[in-house]
Structure 1
Amino acid sequence: MQELRSLTPQEIERLQSQNCECADWTRVKVSARFNPHFIKNTRFSGKIKLGVLENEFELAGGLKKHSCINNAVIHNCEIGNNVVIENIQNYIANYLIGDNCFIQNVDVILVDAKTTFGNGTEVNVLNESGGREVHIHDKLSAHFAYVYALYRHRPNLIKRMKAMVDYYAGKHASDMGSIGNDAMIVNVGYIKNVRIGSFCKITGAMKLKNGSINSNKQAPVYVGRNVIAEDFIISSGSRIDGGCIISRCFIGQACHLDHGYSASDSLFFSNCQGENGEACALFAGPYTVTHHKSTLLIAGMFSFMNAGSGSNQSNHMYKLGPIHQGIVERGAKTTSNSYVLWPAKVGPFSLILGRHYHHSDTSNLPFSYLVENNNATHLAPAINLKSVGTIRDAKKWPERDKRKDPDKLDFINFNLLSPYTIQKVFAGVSILKNLQATAGETSEIYTYQSCIIKNAALKRGLELYEIVIHKFLGNSIIKRLENTRFTSNEEVRDRLKPDTTVGSGEWIDISGLIAPKSEIDHLLCQIESGEVSKLKEINNVFKQLHEQYYTLEWTWAWEKIQEFYSVTPETITAEDVIAIVEKWKTSVVKLDEMIYTDAKKEFSLSFKTGFGSDGNIQDQAMDFEYVRGAFDKNLFVMATLKHIEDKKALGDELIERIKNVK
């Protein structure tokens, strides 16, 4: 705002003639170019600062409206340039209102005491009864929340993290609210103790209380019709609409809640979507998606997950209360009417079909199907690896990243195959081989974690796990040796040496960020010791680990290559590399052919049922093709075939480049 001055006697007279009131006009300060012409029927009180009213707004439909202040009661506010504030049914109190704001037909906007605007709100995630509460704040990342919620076995760590949040909340506490530049608030009921960012659009919301809406120019926030929100933080680029009701929730960047979705004590991180259904004590990591009216997500941790209609979980056994929790690792799906009785843990990229009551832990059997059969859980290890749906999901997630804010809160690794998943594949191989050794290779069924595994499913699982190990390790070695000419085996060995020792050992997925456990442990020790004491410092470590992923991945992959292919850094030769690449080529092609076959099922005769109504078989086929397209012209099918050719060419290029190295 420009330099301020007091009102002139003529300006006071003009305002009074336009039915404006103030008990003490000396407390009203205005910009140098202030013109009172566009202020009418308004009562001022407290300390007031006013900008100029010179510009016009062009509204939808072509209507133009001059900036103005009409029909309002304004107490203790600082108002920027070129605003529209009119038809305030009660009053606006204790707010800093930015330039170019449009505020119309509002009941009340006020701050009634010093407040943190939702920062520090306790969210009882995962356990409704408490014990895993996360105190939310503007800069909350999925990774920070993951540690905060799950690492309760390190009380000093949690104490230090809580202190950081308390410091941040205290630093941003104020008895003055703010509405950023270019915000629009129209046809809204009750707004109390809410900080509203620039370019935010709020239309038709019923009640907003104690929260922050972190909108900005690059990623505006929209809050729509009949929304009720209390004790909340909404991050940039998100949209809350259609009568949603949220209480004690953090909404991450580019999330979308709509069509009457209700959520309490829940965390939603980047690109989550919730429609029609319900969430309670939910930890929704990036890309948790639920669209169906009958779906409840409760007391669970998910990420990259799609919930089918009627999906449900239970955290209550009617004994000691709703104290149970579940973890479904990244990439899982639930089918229609699926049910899981917590506690349970489901491995990454698994599919849950039917109802499951036996508290199993399949976290080391990734890419599996969990299928209900006669009230028992039947497990098909690795079968999801050859599903076209798994590959389609992995490709669509980065394409559906709607975050526009340059300052991203979550550092998301989209890789289907990573040290995190492949270490679980290795663990799965050990589990399945131990079952064979214990019960015998001819046993019809095996039992693991209260799950039944049929003999054929176990053997198929071992085969698929071996294929995907060849694929990942081959990918890694080809990537490491690309774009380099070698004249000797020594040069090959030198290139294969990792750039760092960091990356060895176990890897973890902390809600979207895949990183070596050793580095996360190091960070947590630094927090416990006080060496790291600021939220920004923690987020910087997460950012660095994300940016260094491929460097650290090679450290892990190189160790596994030595172990799996029985080679050593001192003796490996170009010939050994060629053998690894040949196995990689075979595995990649075999897996892609399985995916191709799975995709082809979608175009079989049975899937054409209902097409070509009132016609013959030829009409049915033509109608299907016009709607769904021809199989050989399907974009995914064409991409799969191209992937086979590209991968063959990539492997052949490396083989050709090093085949004469001695």
Structure 2
Amino acid sequence: MNKITRHPISALGYQFIEPKYLPEGADEYYLRNKQNRTKTLFRNLNANEIEQLVRNQNQADDWNKILVSDAFNPELVKNCKFFGLIRIGKLEPFFLEYHNLRMPVGLYNSHIISCDIGDNVIIDNVSYLSHYIIGNEAILVNINEMSTTSHAKFGNGIVKEGEKEEVRIWLELCNENGGRKVAPFSGMLPGDAWLWSRNRTDTLFQSRLLEFTQNEFDVKRGYYGKVGDRCIIKNTLIIKDVWFGSDAYIKGANKLKNLSIHSTPDASTQIGEGCELVNGIVSEGCTVFYGVKAVRFLMAAQTQLKYGARLINSYLGSNATISCCEVLNSLIFPSHEQHHNNSFLCAALVQGQSNMAAGATVGSNHNSRGADGEIIAGRGFWPGLCVSLKHNSRLATFTIVAKGDYPAELDIPIPFSLLSNDVTNNELVVMPAYWFQYNLYALSRNAWKYEARDKRIEKFQRLEFDFLAPDSMMEVLKSLAILEEICGKAYYQKFPTEDKVSIQSIKEKGKELLDSDDPILQELTYFASGWENSKRKIRVIKLTDAYLRFKQVINYYPVYCLTKYYAETDLRDGGLIKNLTSDLSQPEVWVNLGGQLVPKSSMDQMITDIKNKKINSWKELHLCYKNLGNEYEQEKTKHAFAIFFASEVIPTSEFTSAHLIQMLTKAKTFRQWMSDSIYISRKKDYDNPFRNMVYADEKERDQVLGSLEDNSFIQSEKIESKKFMEQIDQFLIALK
């Protein structure tokens, strides 16, 4: 039976805060007065104004509880019912227009309970409006219910006075069993979500992060909902416990409940038809439209949800788009693309710059006794058409997965690889360095595209979009040893010896063969082990080409950093190189902290400082992110040289200008190869007869697709390549 209680009509609009939660000497409006920062001076209605309001079919439980500004015009208030304390700003006789919606300023045909209403607001046909503070020139039209409760948390994972811990909202990220859950809050960065979802055995660290969230907000009861200046909310059914930033645009939503919807004049947020959002945070600059369902979620800045997408128990990083599909229990770093109705992502950590094709089901096929699996995919994860991956799987950076149903868990340590499922031969096929060999255009263009599309207003985290970065290059360095071991094993498999060969000897043999490009390499067949949880073979193809490319990239990487970050430096005094190369130890492991790459030691220090109370809030932690971002260019360049020294086994003390000249010369050659490969890999599409057969001729093809020579990225790449060559020439002149 529904429990319906009776109260006297005189109580409607009052006692918003239960007396036991009121501080001594405070009334129920003390927080409302704190929230409403208007400088308007309010007064009581005069007798003529009350008479005019009554004549306009308005009702009030107590006309003395309606306070107005001096610029109040009673002619612009018609057929409304008022209960509780109402404060109304100026109303002037003109209309507001937005996207062809033209309506006169004023309050019409609405039921309003205990609200503050700003200047020149339009409220028309709002059936129930309760406990809101409405900003200036806001437009509220055709809303069934819009109310705030005294214990509203606006989507933040906090507990209010008198509430039990059980009511706290959590996001169950990365794992469906809730073991990596985090409490969301307005302003939560992907680095925050990642740090919190890891380090689960460190109970002190976990409790401190929960403290940060709980202390981020006032836990007192009695805060009103807020509608920022110039917000437009129209044709919406239910709004409950929602905070709207300025300039938000809401049209045709079904239900919005327990949300913070951030929006600014420079980064307006829009929510459209048929959407239902519950228990979440929508950051500035987001768009959500056409039947989206989101529950227990956080959308970072400049993200899009559209066309019936489902986002549940998930964090969506900035500059990302999800449409048509379903995403559950996932932590997604910035610049993720997922556009297709039949793709599915579940219980995954996707570390950014990712793109899921149609039919990809990542994590849908549970293969344990419980829903407790996880998938970890490094930056640049691209599962192709109809790819099915099993929990648990781990994939290195810039892994592309070809169409297929992969029957077992994967652990792929080699970056830039293409995975293929060879059903005929029952083999997993891995091509390392695929992107460098066959599609450098896409790899380079994506780095350019993601940076160009980074529309964040506040960039607390310095996101890395380049495919040459500390995380991927550390994997490249480790891959050399892996490929050497695979090569050595292949050699001794073909040419066995009677004596037992140590792993070290196997690696040394593989390195010897690969460094010398021995012709015997073409006769060997290469297989890996431990990359798939199955008994079938794991074939590694194009191994020698991959090894060569990886060695070239390692030589090129520090030079690339020099040209990118130290282009104006004079190398003649050698001070910069000495600073970047002296006292370098083995290259340190870096971590992807929500799209921002940081040394693991720096992350460990942050964790220690949090536990030791040197960092005491999310704002202070975000400042640490910013400081690390300011140091990133120098630290990245130092790390690049450390990787080079580790691969070449050169002590830093023996590094001379002759070594640097050699590096620069090789880098110039490699950069020219990259530029040519970018052009050639795109040109293949224009030369392919099967692509061209749908066009009458080349002229029509270029009209439809754009000509190859006019390609904006290729034009940009040519400019960058020329600039790189000129910088190298300047460096070489300075060193000779």
TM-score normalised according to structure 1 size: 0.92
Question: Secondary structure, in 3 states, of the residue corresponding to 2:734?
Answer: helix
**Secondary structure of residue in 1 paired with 2:191:** helix
Deviation sequence 1:216-273 (CA, Å, 0-9, x none):
2121110111111111110000010011011111111111111111111111110110
The equivalent of 2:179 in structure 1 is: 131
Give yes or no for contact 2:406–2:421 (8 Å, CA) kept in 1.
Answer: yes
Q: Does 1:590 align with 2:640?
A: no
Are residues 645 and 318 of structure 1, via their aligned partners in 2, closer, same or farther at CA, if it must alter by over 3 Å? closer
Name the counterpart of 1:572.
655
Native 8 Å contact 1:308 1:335 kept in 2: yes
Which of 628, 641, 646 is the aligned partner of 1:563? 646
Deviations 1:68-103 (A, max 9, x none): 0011111111111110011122x1111111111100
* Preserved contact between residue 347 and residue 375 of structure 2 (Cα < 8 Å): yes
Corresponding residue for residue 615 of structure 1: none
1:484 deviates by 4.1
- TM-superposed CA distance for 1:590, in Å, is 2.5
Structure 1 residue 258 corresponds to structure 2 residue 306 = yes
- List aligned pairs for 1:87-98, cutoff 5 A: 87-89=125-127, 91-98=128-135
Shift of residue 630 of structure 1?
Answer: 3.9
> Is 1:358 equivalent to 2:411 in the alignment?
no
Q: Are 1:394 and 2:439 counterparts?
A: no
Checking the alignment, whether the CA contact within 8 Å between 2:150 and 2:221 is kept in structure 1 is: no
Any gaps of 5 or more consecutive residues in structure 1?
613-618
Q: 1:298 to 1:355 in 2, by over 3 A?
A: same
2:411 match: secondary structure: coil
Match of 2:141 in 1: 104
Of 141-150 and 569-578, the range deviating more from structure 2: 569-578
C-alpha distance in 2 between matches for 1:26 and 1:147: 53
What is the CA distance between 1:604 and its match in structure 2?
A: 1.5
More strand by share: 1
1:465 maps to which of 550, 555, 563 = 550
Question: What's the offset of the Cα at 1:348?
Answer: 0.9
Shift of 1:492: 6.6
CA contact (8 A) 2:586 2:642 kept: no
The residue correspondences of 1:165-180 to structure 2 (distance < 5 A) are 165-171=213-219, 174-180=222-228
Partner in structure 1 of residue 43 of structure 2: 5
**2:691 partner amino acid:** K
- For 2:95, the equivalent position in structure 1 comes to 57
Verify the 8 A CA contact 2:461 2:629 in the aligned structure 1. no
What's the offset of the Cα at 1:450? Answer: 3.6
Alpha carbons of structure 1 residues 504 and 247: separation in structure 2 relative to 1, 3 Å: same
Q: Which amino acid aligns with 2:481?
A: S
Question: What residue is the counterpart of 2:733 in the other structure?
Answer: 656
2:84 to 20, 26, 46: 46
Deviation at 1:530, TM superposition (A): 1.9
Measured at CA, do residues 409 and 620 of structure 1 come closer, stay the same or move farther in structure 2, by a change above 3 Å? same
Equivalent residue for 1:621? Answer: 698
> Are the counterparts in 2 of residues 261 and 274 from structure 1 also a CA contact under 8 Å?
yes
Asked if residue 275 in structure 1 is aligned to residue 318 in structure 2, the reply is no
CA deviations 1:411-458 (Å, max 9, x no partner) are 312222112211110011111111222342654131233455546422
Distance 1:46 1:153, change over 3 A: same
TM-score (norm 2): 0.83
Give the match for residue 154 of structure 1.
202
Residue 543 in structure 1 maps to residue 626 in structure 2: yes
Which residue in 2 is equivalent to 1:185? 233
Measured in 2, the distance between the counterparts of 1:377 and 1:173 equals 58
> Take 2:65 and 2:464, find their aligned partners in 1: how far apart are those partners?
55
Q: Residues of 1 paired with 2:462 and 2:53: CA distance?
A: 53
Are the equivalent residues in 2 in contact too, given 1:230–1:246 (CA < 8 A)? yes
Equivalent residues in 2 for 1:265-344, closer than 5 Å: 265-302=313-350, 303-314=352-363, 317=366, 319-344=368-393
Name the CA shift for 1:497/1:435 in 2 (closer, same or farther; >3 Å).
closer
Distance 1:219 1:124 in 2: 28
State the shift of 1:597 in Å.
Answer: 2.4
SS state of the match for residue 415, structure 1? coil
Give the CA deviation at 1:360.
Answer: 1.6
Instruction: Tell me the matched-pair count.
Output: 647
CA distance in 2, matches of 1:376, 1:324: 24
State how far apart, in whole Å, the 2-side matches of 1:114 and 1:188 are: 23
SS at match of 1:297: strand
Quick one: which amino acid aligns to residue 733 of structure 2? E
Q: Which position in structure 2 is the counterpart of 1:413?
A: 464
Q: Distance in 1 between matches of 2:475 and 2:688?
A: 38
* Equivalent position amino acid for 2:205 in 1: L
Q: Which amino acid aligns with 2:53?
A: L
User: What letter matches 2:624 in structure 1?
Assistant: V
1:372 and 1:518 map into 2 onto residues whose CA distance is 38
Given the superposition, is the C-alpha separation of residues 607 and 5 from structure 1 closer, same or farther in structure 2, using an over 3 Å criterion?
A: same
Question: In structure 2, which of residues 530, 533, 539 is the aligned counterpart of residue 449 of structure 1?
Answer: 530
- Cα distance, 1:62–1:357 mapped onto 2, change above 3 Å: closer
Query: How many angstroms does 1:470 deviate by?
Result: 1.5
Gaps of 5+ in 2: 1-37, 158-168, 492-520
Distance 1:63 1:508 in 2: 49
Aligned counterparts of 2:209 and 2:584: Cα–Cα separation in 1: 29
Deviation at 1:61, TM superposition (A): 7.0
CA distance, structure 1, for counterparts of residue 698 and residue 565 of structure 2: 47
Is 1:204–2:252 an aligned residue pair? yes
Distance verdict in 2 for CA 1:638–1:607, change over 3 Å: farther
